A = this chain, B = another copy of it.
């Protein structure tokens, strides 16, 4: 539970930087559903997840959402401190998807260490590259994959995250993850149901043929 165990390049920091970082990192908790970072409206700091799950998403002018990536235990969230990366020109929203515990590193503290430490700058680089890769993956999905395959992949992934074949989620919420309209999700889920791959009830999607869903998502 010590901060240093959650910061993989701890041993590459000078002892002065270690002390600064440890002093500055504050432990925080947030309830599921809390908006932790609100686009360009704030620049809270970097979040190092200790427990729980965060969701990063973008928002259209019309209020439509799409999930960009998720963060889990030991992940560090850079974009809640995107003001330190002046070339980041987009707005991301970060939400606690479950109850979460995390450390908050104030932006300016991290930035000043990053300016002088090659290790921290390269670590930041590495995180940026990972998120970039997730976004490129999503871009390819959106561009080249039909919606039935994306929905099948989403259901398989959610079922793995929940460690259950029963996903408690409204069609509205699924649409927000996938960047589409509720009606589109409902129509496709009904088709999946008619094919025996899922069973639908209020706010619940039960996966009844995971093999076929998996095959579909891998197509």
Query: A residues touching B (Cβ–Cβ < 8 Å)?
Result: 58, 60-62, 64, 66, 85-90, 114-118, 120-122, 124-133, 135-140, 142-144, 179
Identity of the chain B residue whose Cβ is nearest the Cβ of A143 in the assembled complex: B179
Whole-angstrom CA separation of A128 from B85 in the bound complex: 10
Whole-angstrom CA separation of A88 from B131 in the bound complex: 9
Whole-angstrom CA separation of A137 from B128 in the bound complex: 16
Chain A contact surface mostly: helix
How many of these chains are in the complex? 2
User: 23 A-B Cβ contacts within 8 A?
Assistant: A58-B139, A60-B143, A60-B144, A61-B144, A85-B125, A86-B129, A87-B126, A87-B130, A87-B133, A88-B133, A89-B136, A114-B118, A115-B122, A121-B124, A121-B125, A124-B125, A125-B128, A128-B129, A131-B132, A132-B135, A135-B136, A139-B139, A142-B142
Q: Are B133 and A122 in contact (CB under 8 A)?
A: no
* B contact residues around A138 at 8 Å (CB): 139
Identity of the chain B residue whose Cβ is nearest the Cβ of A113 in the assembled complex: B118
Closest 3 CB pairs of A and B: A121-B121, A87-B129, A90-B136
Apart from A62-B144, A89-B133, A143-B179, list 19 A-B contacts with CB within 8 A.
Answer: A58-B136, A58-B140, A85-B126, A85-B129, A86-B129, A87-B126, A88-B132, A89-B130, A89-B136, A89-B137, A90-B132, A115-B118, A116-B118, A118-B120, A118-B121, A121-B125, A124-B125, A128-B128, A139-B142
